[in-house]
A and B are shown apart, each in its own frame.
Chain A
Amino acid sequence: MSNEKLNAEISEAIVNLDKEKALELANRAITDGLNLLDVVEHGLGAGIRRVGDLWDEGEIFLPELMLGGNIMQAAMELLLPHLKEHSETFNRGTIVIATIEGDIHSIGKTIVGTMLSANGYDVHDLGADVPAEKIVNEAIKVHANIIGVSALLTTTMTGQKKVVEILKERNLRSQFKVILGGAPVSRKWVEECGADGYADSAVDAVKLVKEL
Chain B
Amino acid sequence: MLFKEWLKDEKKKILFDGGMGSEIIKRGIKPGKLPDLLNIEEPQVIRSIHQAYYEAGSDMVQTNTFGSSYLNLKNHKLEERLVEINQKALEIINKICPKNHLIVGDIGPSGVFKPPVGKATTDMWQSSFKKQVEVLNSGVHLWHIETVSDIEEMRAAIRAIKEVSSKPIISSMTYKKTKRGFFTIMGDSLEKCVEIQINEGADVIGSNCTLGSNEMVDLMKEFNNVTDRPISIKPNAGKPRLEESKTVYDQSVQEFAQDIVKIINLGAKIVGGCCGTTPQTIQEIKKEMNL
Chain B 225-246 residues near chain A, CB threshold 8 A: 239-245
Chain A window 25-63, contacts with chain B (Cβ cutoff 8 Å), 1 for yes, 0 for no: 000000000000000000000000000000001111111
* Cβ–Cβ contact B242 & A189, under 8 A: yes
Interchain CA distance A192-B242 in the complex, whole Å: 10
Write out the residue numbers on chain A whose beta carbons fall within 8 Å of the beta carbon of B186: 61-63
Q: Are A189 and B178 CB-contacts (below 8 A) given A104-B111, A155-B31?
A: no
Main secondary structure of the interface of B (DSSP, over half): loop
Question: From A151, which residue of chain B is reached at the shortest CB distance?
Answer: B242
Contact of B183 among A61, A70, A157, A184 (CB under 8 A): A61
Chain A window 75-119, contacts with chain B (Cβ cutoff 8 Å), 1 for yes, 0 for no: 000000000000000000000000001101001001000000000
B121 near A: Cβ within 8 Å?
no
Q: How far is the CB of B122 from chain A (nearest CB, A)?
A: 15
Q: Are A102 and B33 CB-contacts (below 8 A) given A57-B179, A154-B247, A184-B240?
A: yes
B43 near A: Cβ within 8 Å?
no
Question: From B114, which residue of chain A is reached at the shortest CB distance?
Answer: A63
Chain B 131-157 residues near chain A, CB threshold 8 A: none
Contact of B239 among A58, A183, A192 (CB under 8 A): A183
* Cβ–Cβ contact A102 & B187, under 8 A: no
Chain A: number of interface residues, binned into ranges: 20 to 34
Write out the residue numbers on chain B whose beta carbons fall within 8 Å of the beta carbon of A161: 245
Best-buried of B33, B116, B239 by chain A (most CB within 10 Å): B116
Q: How many residues of chain B have a CB within 8 Å of chain A?
A: 30
Write out the residue numbers on chain A whose beta carbons fall within 8 Å of the beta carbon of B13: none
Interchain CA distance A154-B243 in the complex, whole Å: 10
Q: Are A58 and B117 CB-contacts (below 8 A) given A102-B33, A186-B241, A189-B242?
A: no
Question: From B247, which residue of chain A is reached at the shortest CB distance?
Answer: A154
B75 near A: Cβ within 8 Å?
yes
Chain A window 131-145, contacts with chain B (Cβ cutoff 8 Å), 1 for yes, 0 for no: 000000000000000
Chain A window 181-197, contacts with chain B (Cβ cutoff 8 Å), 1 for yes, 0 for no: 00110101100100000
A158 near B: Cβ within 8 Å?
yes
Question: From A67, which residue of chain B is reached at the shortest CB distance?
Answer: B116
Q: Are A58 and B116 CB-contacts (below 8 A) given A63-B187, A183-B239?
A: no
Question: From A68, which residue of chain B is reached at the shortest CB distance?
Answer: B116
A3 near B: Cβ within 8 Å?
no
* Cβ–Cβ contact B176 & A66, under 8 A: no
Main secondary structure of the interface of A (DSSP, over half): loop
Contact of B178 among A58, A66, A102, A129 (CB under 8 A): A58
* Cβ–Cβ contact B25 & A184, under 8 A: no
Write out the residue numbers on chain A whose beta carbons fall within 8 Å of the beta carbon of B244: 192
Chain A window 150-165, contacts with chain B (Cβ cutoff 8 Å), 1 for yes, 0 for no: 0001111110010000
* Cβ–Cβ contact B178 & A104, under 8 A: no
* Cβ–Cβ contact A184 & B239, under 8 A: yes
Q: Are A154 and B180 CB-contacts (below 8 A) given A61-B187, A66-B117?
A: no
* Cβ–Cβ contact B116 & A70, under 8 A: yes
B32 near A: Cβ within 8 Å?
yes
Q: How far is the CB of B128 from chain A (nearest CB, A)?
A: 15
Write out the residue numbers on chain B whose beta carbons fall within 8 Å of the beta carbon of A67: 116
Write out the residue numbers on chain A whose beta carbons fall within 8 Å of the beta carbon of B289: none
* Cβ–Cβ contact B180 & A153, under 8 A: no
Question: From A110, which residue of chain B is reached at the shortest CB distance?
Answer: B117
A64 near B: Cβ within 8 Å?
yes
* Cβ–Cβ contact B75 & A104, under 8 A: yes
Q: Are A154 and B242 CB-contacts (below 8 A) given A58-B176, A70-B116?
A: yes
A-B contact pairs, 23 of them (CB 8 A): A57-B179, A58-B177, A58-B180, A58-B183, A59-B178, A61-B184, A61-B187, A62-B113, A62-B117, A67-B116, A102-B32, A102-B33, A104-B75, A153-B21, A153-B31, A154-B241, A154-B242, A155-B22, A155-B31, A155-B247, A183-B239, A184-B240, A186-B241
